[in-house]
Amino acid sequence: FELQSKAQTRNPSYVLSSTANEIFAANEAGKDSGASSFHEKSGRISSTAGPLQTGADPCFLMLFDEGRYLLTADYSGGSISVFPISEGRLQERSDLLEFTGSGPVEGRQESSHIHQIRQVPQTEGIAGEWLLASDLGADAIRLIFVSRVSSMKHGESIMPVHVSDIPCPAGSGPRHMEFSKDGRILYCIAELSGEVLAYD
């Protein structure tokens, strides 16, 4: 391996790239956390935006709606931040969905801690745009519906709405999720209990 290029950014704890040579980073820095965007061309990386304010300590990024939006899982903030993307560049945050909750493990579950976001695959009997968010702090997998909205500031945008929760065992600390190939089984790593949880 040979280093081609680098771009300076504040504490990039998670990085995601797109097929269009766009690069996005979660800037994990407590209350000063954010998300940034970059562009790679001919082996050179240049900053295009950010850091733009997220909830505290984002630890996961997800592209949504064919790359039109970036969503961040904000661990310490217990929230999900939504950023429109225009020509590969992050725009100002358009929405923030905050959660509350706690669990029995002292020092780890004092509040909601969103660790990952996954889109629910299209399967028989499931329609619309649904997301799941693992909440390590509240022992829950959050079920979220993404609605389409219009606003003067952002034009057409998306708004995640918390619908309900899938409960996890007390003190388990759900962290990372993966679906089976047919989309019918959800697996979740429970960080605090050291288990793999499975849901139909």
pLDDT by residue for the chain (200 residues), tens digit each? 998 888 999 999 999 998 788 999 999 999 999 999 999 998 899 999 989 999 999 999 999 998 999 999 999 999 999 999 999 999 999 999 999 999 999 999 999 999 999 999 875 555 568 999 999 999 999 999 999 887 666 678 899 999 999 999 999 999 999 999 998 999 999 999 999 999 99
Q: Measuring CA to CA, which residue among 138, 118, 116 is closest to residue 185?
A: 118
- Here the tokens at position 151 are 């606003």
DSSP string, 10-67: S-EEEEEE-TTSEEEEEE--GGG-EEEEEEEETTEEEEEEEEEE-SSSEEEEEEETTT
67 half-sphere exposure, CB direction, 13 A CA radius: 14
Q: What are phi and psi of 114, to 5 degrees?
A: -80, 125
Three-class SS of residue 133? strand
